């Protein structure tokens, strides 16, 4: 007999999208899922109740989507990424499901302060920067486009470190984002895959006299799945992100426990589960490097076995694998999946090598994200042989067969064999993961036009010649759902009021704003929105960080990972130059400017951390000098993450994209800022070139050497001292930094930075671009004084950003690489 009480609690739960249903779900969730009432509940409880309310509205669509993929026997796309920088999920899901207004009304009726509740949610900071955020945008677009897409990665217990600024220095603290649990994930205790490490390989002959290999005496760990639904916008499609957590093969050695040695009993368990503890362990130590390699294999091994389990439900052999499975490798971190699939096919399923290799190549594709040779991932052969002995054998065999083909194409050319080999024989034998990824994939893509061309002309020129047509370009993109519709609601509503809401799914519709740029009333409305966004940011900065800035100033924003090639130092040199000009002529008219930095330095990257200290020391002097009061301010915002970006980007006036030409693969911060009406100051690097082509040369500020000029200068012999001697303002700025003007208590603190420019060769050519940058900043200041024209330029930037939607990017992947088709769930 049915229990009537059970029916009244659960079967009558309303999962509609009207205000009353939402209120009912919020109240029920608080009581039955969180276990609180309205008297004892705190905002964290209300957040969990809201999350469960949204999650319940995702589940039916999620199930329908997964069923539709099985019913249609759809080709599935699997996006392998070591990073997924998802940010907060609550409001993103609400917007994508289309009940923002009803949700706000329900919260208001129940006396819930939604602004406070949504601030409770931690960022899921399972990424370091652009790579992880790109992966998150791609998952959003695949769901919005109803493509059968899955994300695979690691469920790090501790994400990217929490950055605090103490005495001007970056101090890393653990980011325990799972401290209070994660309401969006579904643990799948039954989905477990064994992952092996170490051990040894035994060769034997099978019944047909064929050499076979058995990997034995291994150290094993289990990978357990955690699923998160990924909703598309304006569609019933809800895709899946599956992250793996490491679990010990057994809880503990009972023998040790019974002997009373409790520490030893759990030692192996803790060691095993460390695999998924931390994003990017410090790889400056041997132990850290081993852990990082293990992480990479851990997640691709579990993911491949998971994919093949799903595939084998409906297939009797592997012939159709490339027709049913597309695996995209996001950078080289997952490239070890190539030898792992070969091991599965050859060792476990006994396919012959040539057939297995053909299947493997047609299954994988690889996205490259860097042009800098020193940034291309390599692993010591000795480490690889120790951790993954069978995979090292397979890589040797892949390399042997590949180099034989190269030798046939270029007989007698030993130099090209050396350059193209997977194994780098110089300076200690190392496995070149990018070479493995290129050889083992059917397509390789760069992420901006210039990046792809430079790939083909420089670091991978040999491969482009050997595999004509394999390397293609697909420019990166960003999801307009998070980066405009959610992050900048005022602007989104203004745009929708004039051209309709279709732009949220079809960003090219922003072109309809072009005539409005010449309409005075629209420019006034836009200016009011920008002012409100700036004032909101001013308030946030005061409340969270006790920093005062003026919304009347030009907000000059550089928000990205702290790295020498991104050239925060060039920005610093402009600040010091502007500061000196203000001191020398206090009565001169200057546009008030607030220079805002945000970004993290890798914990082991000493120079980047010193740059953060320099920025903060300069801020301390500049911000407290009465001669420049109100006209120049420098701010470093700690712990930059997705949620912080959502607050900063709508307020920005100027977007700093100033990397050395030829070093930035694409950049996506440039796209996010331009989409919100910030004008770009930048070099002809990465996607800046394509942004210039779209928005027009009159609506962007370009400076500096081109990639060709950078290469030419290096060939001729770049001499930074010449620029130092020839430019008095540059010389003064560098001397002030080196002599301790900004670090009186420790005068030599920043001398290493200046020495790296003058004595160390100025690798990223800051001094060569300094004069051009300063001149370009002067043009910015002049342009900003004509606010009406500045607003017009900002509108035209937004109007021409349609190309940079991640929807456009994903459609290119689907047609050029994956051959994936839409599957619309049955509603």
List the beta bridge partners of residue 230. Answer: 239
**CA pair distance 364, 818, nearest whole angstrom:** 9
Residue pair 340/301 in contact (Cβ under 8 Å)? The answer is yes
Q: Which tokens belong to 290? A: 């081993």
| Residue corresponding to tokens 């595939």 | 311
Which stretches of 178-238 are DSSP H helices?
none
From its phi and psi, is residue 423 left (phi > 0), alpha (psi between -120 and 50) or beta? beta
Short-list 137, 92, 143, CA closest to 118: 92
**CA pair distance 423, 385, nearest whole angstrom:** 13
Residue 719 neighbours by CB distance under 10 Å: 14
Residue 468 neighbours by CB distance under 10 Å: 9
**What residues have CB less than 8 Å from 216, skipping those under 6 apart?**
199, 200, 201, 202
**CA pair distance 40, 38, nearest whole angstrom:** 6
List the beta bridge partners of residue 702. Answer: 682
Q: Which tokens belong to 673? A: 């800022």
* Rounded (5°) CA angle 38-39-40: 100
Distances in whole angstroms, Cα of residue 216 to Cα of each of 64, 344, 388: 42, 15, 11
**CA pair distance 692, 681, nearest whole angstrom:** 10
List the beta bridge partners of residue 165. Answer: 170
Short-list 378, 467, 470, CA closest to 430: 378
Distances in whole angstroms, Cα of residue 74 to Cα of each of 63, 241, 303, 320, 546: 15, 17, 18, 12, 53
**What residues have CB less than 8 Å from 716, skipping those under 6 apart?**
none
Reduced DSSP (H G I as helix, E B as strand, rest coil) percent helix, strand, coil of the chain, to 5: 55, 15, 30
Task: Report DSSP letters for 444-490, one per residue.
Answer: EEESSHHHHHHHHHTTTHHHHHHSTTTEEE----B-HIIIIIITTHH
Residue pair 503/510 in contact (Cβ under 8 Å)? The answer is yes
List the beta bridge partners of residue 443. Answer: 365
Residue pair 276/298 in contact (Cβ under 8 Å)? The answer is yes
Q: Give me the active site residues, please.
A: 369, 560-561, 566, 668, 672
Query: Exposed/middle/buried for 751, CB within 10 Å: 0-12, 13-18, 19+?
Result: middle
Query: Exposed/middle/buried for 310, CB within 10 Å: 0-12, 13-18, 19+?
Result: middle
**CA pair distance 63, 237, nearest whole angstrom:** 9
Cα 507 → chain centroid: 21
Dihedral, 192, 196, 201, 207 alpha carbons, nearest 10: 0
**CA pair distance 199, 417, nearest whole angstrom:** 31
Dihedrals phi, psi of 477, to nearest 5 degrees: -150, 175
**CA pair distance 313, 304, nearest whole angstrom:** 14
**CA pair distance 710, 669, nearest whole angstrom:** 23
Indicate the DSSP class of residue 214.
Answer: E
Which stretches of 546-655 are DSSP H helices?
568-584, 606-622, 642-648
């Amino acid at each position: 007999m049915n229990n009537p009480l059970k029916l009244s609690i659960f079967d009558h739960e309303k999962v509609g999208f009207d205000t009353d249903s939402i209120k009912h779900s919020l109240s029920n969730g608080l009581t039955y899922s969180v276990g609180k009432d309205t008297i004892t509940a705190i905002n964290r409880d209300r957040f969990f109740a809201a999350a469960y309310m949204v999650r319940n509205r995702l589940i039916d669509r999620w199930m329908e989507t997964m069923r539709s993929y099985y019913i249609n026997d759809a080709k599935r796309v699997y996006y392998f990424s070591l990073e997924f920088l998802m940010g907060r999920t609550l409001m993103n899901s609400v917007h994508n499901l289309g009940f923002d207004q009803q949700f706000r009304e329900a919260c208001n009726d129940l006396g819930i302060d939604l602004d406070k509740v949504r601030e409770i949610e931690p960022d899921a900071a399972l990424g370091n920067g652009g790579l992880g955020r790109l992966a998150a945008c791609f998952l959003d677009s695949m769901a919005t486009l109803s493509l059968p897409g899955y994300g695979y990665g690691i469920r790090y217990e501790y994400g990217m470190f929490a950055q605090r600024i103490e005495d001007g220095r970056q101090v890393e603290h653990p980011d325990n984002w799972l401290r209070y649990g994660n309401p969006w994930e579904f643990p799948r205790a039954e989905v477990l895959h064994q992952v092996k490490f170490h051990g040894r390989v035994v060769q034997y002959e099978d019944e047909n006299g064929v050499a076979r290999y058995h990997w034995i005496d291994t150290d094993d760990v289990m990978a357990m799945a955690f699923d998160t639904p990924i909703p598309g916008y304006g569609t019933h499609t809800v895709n899946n992100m599956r992250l793996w957590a490491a679990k010990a093969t057994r809880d503990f050695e009972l023998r040790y426990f019974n002997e009373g040695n409790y520490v030893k009993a759990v030692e192996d368990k803790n060691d095993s589960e460390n695999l998924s503890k931390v994003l990017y362990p410090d790889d400056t130590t041997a132990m850290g490097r081993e852990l990082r390699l293990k992480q990479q294999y851990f997640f691709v091994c579990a993911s491949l076995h998971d994919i093949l389990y799903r595939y084998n439900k409906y297939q009797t052999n592997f012939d159709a694998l490339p027709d049913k499975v597309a695996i995209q490798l996001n950078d080289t971190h997952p490239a070890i999946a190539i030898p792992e699939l070969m091991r599965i096919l050859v060792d476990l399923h006994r396919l012959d090598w040539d057939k297995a290799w053909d299947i493997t190549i047609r299954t994988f594709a690889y996205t490259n994200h860097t042009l800098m040779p020193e940034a291309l991932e390599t692993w010591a052969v000795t480490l690889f042989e120790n951790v993954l002995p069978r995979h090292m054998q397979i890589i040797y065999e892949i390399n042997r067969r590949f180099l034989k083909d190269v030798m046939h194409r270029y007989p007698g050319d030993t130099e090209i064999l050396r350059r193209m080999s997977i194994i780098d024989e110089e300076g200690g034998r190392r496995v070149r993961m990018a070479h493995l990824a290129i050889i083992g994939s059917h397509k390789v893509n760069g992420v901006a036009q210039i990046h792809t061309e430079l790939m083909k002309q420089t670091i991978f020129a040999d491969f482009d010649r050997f595999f004509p047509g394999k390397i293609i370009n697909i420019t990166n993109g960003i999801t307009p759902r998070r980066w405009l519709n959610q992050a900048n609601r005022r602007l989104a509503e203004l745009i929708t009021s004039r051209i309709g809401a279709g732009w949220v799914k079809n960003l090219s519709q922003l072109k309809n704003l072009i005539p409005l740029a010449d309409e005075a009333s629209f420019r006034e409305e836009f200016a009011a929105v920008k002012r409100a966004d700036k004032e909101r940011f001013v308030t946030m900065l005061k409340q969270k960080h006790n920093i005062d800035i003026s919304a009347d100033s030009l907000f000059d924003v550089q928000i990205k990972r702290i790295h020498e090639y991104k050239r925060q130092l060039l920005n610093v040199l402009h600040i010091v130059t502007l500061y000196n000009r203000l001191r020398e002529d206090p009565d001169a008219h200057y546009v008030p400017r607030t220079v805002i930095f945000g970004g993290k330095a890798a914990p082991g990257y000493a120079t980047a951390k010193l740059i953060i200290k320099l920025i903060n020391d300069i801020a301390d002097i500049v911000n407290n000098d009465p001669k420049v009061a109100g006209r120049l301010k420098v701010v470093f915002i700690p712990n930059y993450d997705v949620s912080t970006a959502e607050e900063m980007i709508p307020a920005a006036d100027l977007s700093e994209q100033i990397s050395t030409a030829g070093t930035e693969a694409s950049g996506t911060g440039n796209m996010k800022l331009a989409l919100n009406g910030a004008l770009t100051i930048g070099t002809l690097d990465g996607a800046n070139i394509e942004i210039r082509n779209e928005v027009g040369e009159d609506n962007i500020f370009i400076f500096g050497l081109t990639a060709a000029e950078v290469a030419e200068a290096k060939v001729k012999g770049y001499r930074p001292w010449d620029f130092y001697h020839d430019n008095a303002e540059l010389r003064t700025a560098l001397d002030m930094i080196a002599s301790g003007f900004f670090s009186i208590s420790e005068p030599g603190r920043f001398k290493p930075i200046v020495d790296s420019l003058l004595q160390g060769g100025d690798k990223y050519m800051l001094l060569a671009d300094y004069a051009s940058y300063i001149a370009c900043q002067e043009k910015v200041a002049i342009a900003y004084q004509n606010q009406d024209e500045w607003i017009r330029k900002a509108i035209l930037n937004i109007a021409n950003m349609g190309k940079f939607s991640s929807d456009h990017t994903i459609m290119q992947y689907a047609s050029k690489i994956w051959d994936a088709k839409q599957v619309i769930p049955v509603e």
